[in-house]
Amino acid sequence: MQTKHTVLFEIGMEELPARFIDDAQRQLLEKTTDWLKEERIGFEQMKAFSTPRRLAIIIKGIANKQETIVEKVRGPKLDIAKDKDGNWTKAAIGFTKGQGKSVDDIFVEEIKGIPYTFVEKRMEGKNTIDVLPDFNKIIKSLYFPQTMRWGSLSFRFARPIRWLVAMMDDQVIPMEIANVKAGNVTYGHRFLGGKITLSHPDEYESKLEENYVIADPVKREQRIVEQIRRLEKEKAFFVELKEDLLNEVRNLVEYPTVFYGSFDEEFLSVPDEVLITSMREHQRYFPVFEDESKEKLLPNFVSVRNGDDRAMENVIHGNEKVLRARLADARFFYDEDRKYSIEFYMEKLKSVIFQEELGTVYDKTVRVAKLAKEIAALLDVSKEDMEAIERAASISKFDLVTNMVNEFPELQGVIGEKYAFYYNESETVARTIREHYKPLYTNDTLPSSLVASVVSVADKLDTVVGSISIGLIPTGSQDPYGLRRQAIGVLRILLEERWPVAFETLIEMTKENFKKVEHEAEIMKFFKDRAAFIFHENGIERDVIEAVLHDEIGVVSFAFDKALLLSEKRNDPTFKSAQEAFVRILNMANKADEQNVEENRFQTPSEKTLYAKFVEVQKDVETSKANLDAHGMFGKLETLAAPIHEFFDHNMVMDPDEAIRKNRLALVNQIAALINGFANLAVIEWKQHQ
């Protein structure tokens, strides 16, 4: 039985950017796990650690040696390995020599009736301590969004490496990276801790905590949350803990201590969104509210110090001073911006380039206003909504050139809404200026009104179609204009609002606003790919998606309804007969020519019955299609199943008589066209029901 050991690796660095840390810890865990498996070294459990100054991993129950493996190595065929006299050939000798064996070690086994030569190769496992120095390749393989060099080294890493710990039990693992040799010495908090000599990896967490470092990020976050919750009870207020900010703060500190401060109440005259953004985005503070409703913002903030509570009054005073300066700037910008009119800002937009080939932001608002008006006409909106759409679309970007948005870019639209209210725009117009950016991300909420939805769709279509038409097509992870997000936003609005407008109509209307549109096929493919993504996210299978989107997207909600219906039908055993009938038609239709059906050429009752049923169903199907009734449309198609089976059972479609054959093929072709008008059912992998 192998002896089990504990291994520790730690990379000590200058402070890592908070946004790098979680992914680096994940990589370290996954890469180490994969590496040990590749090296045939067993272990019982593994845990990764991270702080701004370190990445570490502890492996418990690691085996003393690599697993020894025995494998059969195949050589040449027997008739090649031996000559006519039964002697081993050069091929056989070379094969065994290459495996460190001799011809005496050869044995023969058959593969598919053909005898081959084999030798048995035994790979003895090395001692784990001799393999572990290769862990440096794991460290070197860690990926960071940005890397740097330091000194005269060519080695690149996220930040300069200052120390390395590499231990198996009490033994140091010989290893070196960037002229830093591994040892058993780590370091505590930069200001509160000191040099720590480890005698065993099991001491790692406790020794660091004694030196003001909580190495486990989960424990650091728990400490932050617990301290904030205690503070809430003590002060009777509510602190909103946004997950992304909490994660970031957790990765900015090694020893978290929560504190709270205040700012002058006079700053509450500035919109809450500005104050909150200044606290969260610029200072990494948590805003404080009166209660969980978050209706009333209080002149307080909560932050986290990297250290203990010594000299906390000085820390609070320093943070209050910094925040006061930030908020004073915000109030100045807010007051200064309101001295000018919306028309003043619209004029300034004429000098702001949206995209070199697509003109200024002002040009974009003109296009968006025109497109929004055309979409509104298709939807037959009220006169009041039409006026709101035109106004909101034409001024939707005015806040982009305000001082406030220049200082807080993430507040575009939000500031526009605030200023629009100040300038006495209607509530609908003001809300639309804010909401036309929605959805801001894949699962974000949609605009709350028809007016905002129309302007949002027009704005996003203009951006996506315009950008792709000049060749700005996203590739891989590169999507600087956020075209994927905006395309998904358009489709989500069309789907959830169930607009009875064909998507292709909207694209054609959008293209008319540009002097020249290229890459038209790429535009449609781009939107189809996004539609497929949305459908798949809603549990629809890939082949069903292909069937529904085989030709065009059409009315998005109608296409989605058809996809949902087909997804249900594939698992419905009662649909088997209709499915088989449709497949028979579609398979035969491949042989059909385009021509009209001549009733006087029908020879049998079954083909006459099928044709009569087809004529009847065709009208009903078109009616259901016009009403965007997927269930009604498909239900009518299903009534063709029985006469289709009768037709094939009692007629030879490929009749020797050319006129009869062509007439029957024409009937098959027309029925297939009617089915394909719903979806290309031929591409669906139907579930087989017994």
SS3 sequence, 84-112?
CCCCECHHHHHHHHHCCCCHHHCEEEEEC
At 592, the pLDDT band (50, 70, 90 cuts) reads: low
For residue 446, the model assigns a pLDDT of 97
Residue keyed to tokens 């600087």: 480
DSSP 689: -
CATH superfamily of 570-683: Isoleucyl-tRNA Synthetase; Domain 1 (1.10.730.10)
In terms of phi and psi (left: phi > 0; alpha: psi -120 to 50; beta: otherwise), the region of 232 is alpha
For residue 2, the model assigns a pLDDT of 62
For residue 392, the model assigns a pLDDT of 98
Pair 77, 71: CB distance under 8 Å? no
At 147, the pLDDT band (50, 70, 90 cuts) reads: very high
DSSP β-ladder status, 114-123 and 107-111: antiparallel
The SS3 of residue 227 is helix
Give the mean model confidence (pLDDT) for residues 491-502: 97
**Each residue's pLDDT tens digit, 619-641:** 999 999 999 999 999 999 999 99
At 167, the pLDDT band (50, 70, 90 cuts) reads: very high
**Each residue's pLDDT tens digit, 407-422:** 999 999 999 999 999 9
The structure tokens listed for 546 are 């292909």
CA 585, CA 670: separation in Å to the nearest integer? 10
At 594, the pLDDT band (50, 70, 90 cuts) reads: low
The structure tokens listed for 614 are 């087809």
SS3 sequence, 65-80?
ECCCEEEEEEEEEHHH
CA of residue 121 relative to chain centroid, distance? 46
Q: Inform me whether the pLDDT recorded for 688 exceeds 70.
A: no
Q: How far is CA 158 from CA 10, 18, 49, 58, 326, in A?
A: 15, 11, 17, 22, 30
Task: Decide: residue 112, CB within 10 A, 0-12 exposed, 13-18 middle, 19+ buried.
Answer: exposed
Q: Inform me whether the pLDDT recorded for 188 exceeds 70.
A: yes
The SS3 of residue 360 is strand
pTM of the model: 0.82
CA 449, CA 454: separation in Å to the nearest integer? 9
**Each residue's pLDDT tens digit, 269-293:** 999 999 999 999 989 999 999 999 9
CA 665, CA 653: separation in Å to the nearest integer? 7
For residue 687, the model assigns a pLDDT of 67
CA 272, CA 689: separation in Å to the nearest integer? 60
At 228, the pLDDT band (50, 70, 90 cuts) reads: very high
Q: Inform me whether the pLDDT recorded for 689 exceeds 60.
A: no
What's the residue count for the chain?
Answer: 690
DSSP 478: B
**Each residue's pLDDT tens digit, 316-338:** 999 999 999 999 999 999 999 99
DSSP β-ladder status, 161-168 and 180-183: parallel
Output 384-388 pairs: Cβ under 8 A, ≥24 positions apart.
Answer: 385/428, 385/450, 385/451, 388/426, 388/428, 388/429, 388/432, 388/451
Pair 271, 325: CB distance under 8 Å? no
CA 489, CA 504: separation in Å to the nearest integer? 16
For residue 653, the model assigns a pLDDT of 85
**Each residue's pLDDT tens digit, 667-685:** 999 999 999 999 998 888 8
Q: Give me the DSSP letters along 307-346.
A: S-STTHHHHHHHHHHHHHHHHHHHHHHHHHHTTS-HHHHH
Output the CA angle 92-97-100, nearest 5 degrees: 135
**Sign for the pseudo-dihedral over CA of 312, 318, 320, 322:** negative
Task: Decide: residue 417, CB within 10 A, 0-12 exposed, 13-18 middle, 19+ buried.
Answer: buried
What per-residue string of b and e applies to 426-465 under the rule 16 or more CB within 10 Å gives b?
bebbbbbbbbbbbbeeeeeebbebbbbbbbbbbbbbbbbb
**Each residue's pLDDT tens digit, 30-83:** 999 999 999 999 999 999 999 999 999 999 999 999 998 888 899 999 999 999
For residue 611, the model assigns a pLDDT of 92
For residue 470, the model assigns a pLDDT of 93
Calculate the CA dihedral of residues 218, 219, 220, 225 and round it to 10 degrees: 90
Pair 240, 279: CB distance under 8 Å? no
At 92, the pLDDT band (50, 70, 90 cuts) reads: very high
Pair 396, 419: CB distance under 8 Å? no
For residue 431, the model assigns a pLDDT of 98
Mean pLDDT for the chain overall? 94
Q: Inform me whether the pLDDT recorded for 364 exceeds 60.
A: yes
Domain ranges of the chain: 4-66+128-210, 70-123, 217-337, 353-561, 570-683
The structure tokens listed for 373 are 């008006």
CA 323, CA 317: separation in Å to the nearest integer? 10
502: amino acid identity, one letter? A
Task: Decide: residue 355, CB within 10 A, 0-12 exposed, 13-18 middle, 19+ buried.
Answer: middle
CA 401, CA 398: separation in Å to the nearest integer? 7
For residue 593, the model assigns a pLDDT of 63
Q: Which helix (H) or strand (E) holds 480?
A: none
Q: Which helix (H) or strand (E) holds 155?
A: none
